[in-house]
Amino acid sequence: MTLWVLSSVFLVGLLSGVHCAGMCGGLVGAFSMNLPPRAGTFRLHLAYNGGRITSYAVAGLFAGAIGEAGLLLNNVLPVQLALYVAANLMLVALGLYLAGVSRLLSRIESLGARLWRMISPLGRRWLPAHTVGRAYRLGLVWGWLPCGLVYSVLATAIFTGDAASGAAIMLAFGLGTLPNLMLAGLFWRRLREFFALAAVRTGAGALVLALGVAGLARASEHAEALRAGMVCHIF
């Protein structure tokens, strides 16, 4: 896996604040309201987000393993190239989604609704999350909240064709979302208003779209590297 891919996915997570502030800000705000006003609040927010990112990495591990199994059943070189192109097309789709041009990814969220209905009651066991352990476990549960953005990055994890790479993709994405959701815990109302601005959404979407287009432009270079045996997996 190249630094380009991890950096791109991290940046996607960072720019996803335009989506996360609206979708997850309420949950983080509710989490914050149940915390005691003391100096340890920062640790609790960090533990909560650590649990959320752990769930992302676990999901990425399984997604990458699915892609790896697919590579074993096919002629590896053409499949790797096809997956590389598909991964960058997902970045293009993400850019359009963040910019508000396409709502396709929002429809994907319904796919995880049934799983969320089964998992979400577990989170209530850890409210109020007034200790690091409870906050971390609550984050583990809320990491499975249906989200078209997360699902699209999971698709990219499948395209890596490798379990460890899939986990790394989701870890990089999760770390990218960390600053926004940490800030949302303290200033979620103001942050939500900022990310709701059309200029902010369009700018973030355009940057992600540019990453996808740049990746597609490098497809021939990537194909040559595969033929030369310079890389073993898609990334």
10 within domain boundaries? yes
23 within domain boundaries? yes
232 within domain boundaries? no
Query: What pLDDT was estimated at residue 136?
Result: 95
When the pLDDT of each residue in the chain is averaged and rounded to a whole number, the result is: 75
Residue type for position 80: Q
Q: Is the dihedral of CA 134, 135, 138, 139 positive or negative?
A: negative
Number of domains in the chain: 1
112 within domain boundaries? yes
Three-class secondary structure of residue 233 per DSSP: coil
Nearest to 208 by CA among 20, 7, 1, 24: 7
Higher-confidence residue: 140 or 88?
A: 140
pTM of the predicted model as reported, rounded to 2 decimal places: 0.74
Which of 87-91, 119-123, 204-208, 226-230 is predicted least confidently? 226-230
Rounded to 5°, angle at Cα 18 from 100 and 108: 60
234 within domain boundaries? no
Range of the domain at 73: 3-33+42-227
235 within domain boundaries? no
Q: pLDDT digit string (tens) for 66-125?
A: 888 866 555 555 666 676 777 777 777 777 777 777 676 667 777 777 888 888 888 888
Query: What pLDDT was estimated at residue 182?
Result: 80
Higher-confidence residue: 220 or 86?
A: 86
